[in-house]
Amino acid sequence: MDVVITALGPDNVGLADPIIHYVTGQGASLSEIQMYDHDEAQLFAMLCRLHLPDGRLDLLEQAMQKIAEKTGLAIRVWSPDKRADRPRIALCTTYRTETPRAVLQAVRDGRIRAEVAVVIGNRKKCEPLAEEFGVPFELIGEADGSANEDAMVQMFDRYEIDYVVLARYMRILPPETCWQFAGGRIINLHHGLLPGFPGFRPYHDAYAARMLTFGATCHFIIPELDAGNQTINQETFAVRPGTPLEEVIRRGEQVNEPSCLVEGVRRVIDREVKLHFHRVVVS
């Protein structure tokens, strides 16, 4: 059984030792360990990926809970094998409805073999969409649209989320949230081709560069922004010279972005690809 353990909390000495000693003592084989000390924030973060003999996940979860109580760390134990037939998705949204609708429809049609357990928004724009598909909607946004990150993490835990899908969720997740769900659990749709056109206005930037090919990128989110290649899927479309920017954006938002995200999520859910040491590899 493949297992990912993440730990986050106030920096101190010896925080990793009890975790590593326990899992190795249980006969686990380690395939990835990452540890970061963020001195300026006095924060310790850790990811441990391992293979555990079958039937020991419950014991591991209980042991990690005791270690968390002793060390003050927020420790999460997650296995993609636990709900391999139907993993649970949290769909995070802001204003645009095309991409979350595409994921919800793909799940309903069986193209994505998962369950959308909750739609989360920092705005209420997608609440009617969630109601249409019979999925709970949770608002975590303040009046100005800023997100309550602690509430978001609590939602992920309450709904027992396996994968977080950012479907044009127009807020940057803080490193603390990324670390707690690290290891290839957070999937994002960027409405531009990476690495060429990052930022919030990739259509405008590509158009200003006189590009005739536009696209979208589905990628894993990781805590360290420039750590490598996390692209899961990219899809493009070409336009004729002189095509208005408005038409480019319309085609991108209504057709290309939804298609790109659905295929990216499907690849992850079907375990065709995974994240290993911040890089996408074939499973």
- Exposure pattern of 8-18 as b/e (b: 16+ CB <10 Å)? bbeeeeebbeb
pLDDT at 223 (0 to 100): 79
Beta bridge partners of 105: none
What CATH code is carried by the domain that includes residue 140? 3.40.50.170
pLDDT at 192 (0 to 100): 96
C-alpha distance across the termini of the chain, in Å: 14
Q: Is residue 118 part of a domain?
A: yes
What CATH code is carried by the domain that includes residue 42? 3.30.70.260
Q: What is the mean pLDDT of the chain?
A: 94
Q: What is the pLDDT of residues 104-150, one digit of tens each?
A: 999 999 999 999 999 999 999 999 999 999 999 999 999 999 999 99
pLDDT at 204 (0 to 100): 98
If one counts the domains in the chain, the total is 2
Beta bridge partners of 279: 276
Q: Is residue 119 part of a domain?
A: yes
Does one domain contain both 137 and 267? Answer: yes
Provide the pairing of β-strand 115-121 with 88-93. parallel
Does one domain contain both 222 and 99? Answer: yes
Tell me how crowded residue 261 is: count the other CB atoms within 10 A of its CB: 31
Q: Is residue 83 part of a domain?
A: no
pTM of the model: 0.95
pLDDT over 90 (residue 12): no
Q: What percent of the chain has pLDDT over 70?
A: 97
pLDDT at 38 (0 to 100): 65
Measured distance CA(18)–CA(271) in Å, rounded: 30
**Residues catalogued as catalytic:** 226
Judged by phi (left if over 0) then psi (alpha if -120 to 50, else beta), residue 220 lies in: beta
